[in-house]
Amino acid sequence: MTKSRIVFSILILLANVSWSNAQDSVKVSARDFKALIGSWQGALTYLDYQSGKPYTMPANLKVYRIGKSNNYVLSNIYPNEKSANSTDTLKIASDGRSIGTERIISKRKLENGDLEIVTGKSGTDGNDNKPALFRYTYTIGRSVYKKKKEVQFSGETTWVKRHEYIYQIHE
């Protein structure tokens, strides 16, 4: 095993321990995501891997809750790239300590009243095919919803913003 892999493994272990400790006291519930229900209009800004520069495109979102479950369906609509349209399910664990495979790191109310939830997980970055830590920041407000994905590669200390969705409620 190379030195960089050993260092990365230790960093992953420490991150998992700290995220695990954060999970013990921080939980989310379906109620935290209730404000997402409805139709949203906005944009996706992502890092263009060829140019290395951010690229922004229109993105819309429709959200509904599945009955009284902890699951929400998110329909991603890209008006200029309909072939990219997709549907995801946001699954909140019954114990409130994770969203899908993402562990809850923090949850706080911002000064403007919006809710910020930060989650994380480790894995392999699909674009660079390198081991990495992933951090997701959800900002949920009455009229604004943001979701940001950041990546920290093995052996690095900086976070790279992969993409960010910013939506306004569509009334």
Cα separations in angstroms, 131 against 14, 77, 161: 15, 30, 16
CA distance 54 to 24: 36
127 DSSP assignment: T
46-96 tens-digit pLDDT? 988 788 899 999 999 999 999 999 999 999 999 999 999 999 999 999 999
Q: Which two tokens stand for residue 139?
A: 């900002």
18-52 tens-digit pLDDT? 544 544 679 999 999 999 999 999 999 998 878 88
CA distance 122 to 137: 15
- Give Cα 81 to chain centroid, integer Å: 22
Residue with tokens 């519930």: 29
- Looking at residue 33, its amino acid is F
CA distance 2 to 167: 43
- Looking at residue 147, its amino acid is K
| Secondary structure of residue 155 in the 3-state scheme | coil
CA distance 26 to 30: 14
Report the chain's mean pLDDT, rounded to a whole number. 89
CA distance 148 to 144: 13
Domain ranges of the chain: 3-169
Q: Which two tokens stand for residue 85?
A: 């349209």
CATH number of the 3-169 domain: 2.40.128
- Give Cα 166 to chain centroid, integer Å: 12
Judged against a pLDDT cut of 70, whether residue 110 lies above it is answered with: yes
